[in-house]
A and B are shown apart, each in its own frame.
Chain A
Amino acid sequence: NAGVTQTPKFRVLKTGQSMTLLCAQDMNHEYMYWYRQDPGMGLRLIHYSVGEGTTAKGEVPDGYNVSRLKKQNFLLGLESAAPSQTSVYFCASSYKGGRPQETQYFGPGTRLLVL
């Protein structure tokens, strides 16, 4: 199993450009998440999904949109990138109703630089 994969690994954008980050998981998890990590800080939740076709806002959703058309994929879109969105983006997934000690499974991260 590949676990959670993210595409691309690294991207440089100019202010105002758009892009989509792809997250894929092969563990049949119902829940998926997008976090961002700014330098020297912990992860903050952007958006999450509890199942195919459903999404919800997290702690820092402004400037991002998401879609979950297939259970295994969770897309994060930036319609008009801003320098404040320079960050490392982590995708994660987890079971619905899993054991309390079940962690979220994290992808390797996507490093995004907005100039």
Chain B
Amino acid sequence: AQKITQTQPGMFVQEKEAVTLDCTYDTSDPSYGLFWYKQPSSGEMIFLIYQGSYDQQNATEGRYSLNFQKARKSANLVISASQLGDSAMYFCAMREYFPNNAGNMLTFGGGTRLMVKP
């Protein structure tokens, strides 16, 4: 069974500063994918960034980057130059593949609430 742990229930960051949101995972599968989603107060799930287990480089998407440390099983999200609009819940998730090509699912962590201070 897989497990995703986000140890920071809530965090504050000053506008324009960088912030790191922690995510650790546990799996015995050699092939997996890690996702980060943003959930603003409006409730929708917004895909931010992806990291594959075999990717050699850390993923980046604009102001988002993923600090992937495979040996430590961590996939921390780094948001640079925080903006007020970054205030939201952030979820780390891992993709698990079912056997016999029977599909896949996402397992989510408990989330981190980020609050950006002006």
- A residues engaging B (CB < 8 A)? 31, 33, 40-45, 48, 50, 56, 58-59, 88, 90, 92, 94, 96-97, 100-101, 103-104, 106, 108-109, 111
Bound CA–CA A42/B105 (angstroms): 13
Give chain B nearest CB distance to A63 CB in angstroms.
19
Instruction: Name the residue among B33, B43, B91, B102 with the largest chain A CB count within 10 angstroms.
Output: B43
Q: Is the CB of A109 within 8 A of B43?
A: yes
Number of interface residues of B (CB under 8 A): 24
Given A33-B105, A59-B105, A100-B50, list of 4 further CB < 8 A pairs? A42-B108, A43-B93, A44-B108, A103-B50
Query: Which secondary structure characterizes the binding site on chain B?
Result: strand
Bound CA–CA A104/B46 (angstroms): 10
Binary per-residue interface labels of chain B (59-103) against chain A in the complex, 1 for a CB within 8 Å, 0 otherwise: 000000000000000000000000000000001010100000111
**B45 contacts chain A at the CB level, 8 A cutoff:** yes
Give chain A nearest CB distance to B32 CB in angstroms.
9
Q: Is the CB of A100 within 8 A of B43?
A: no
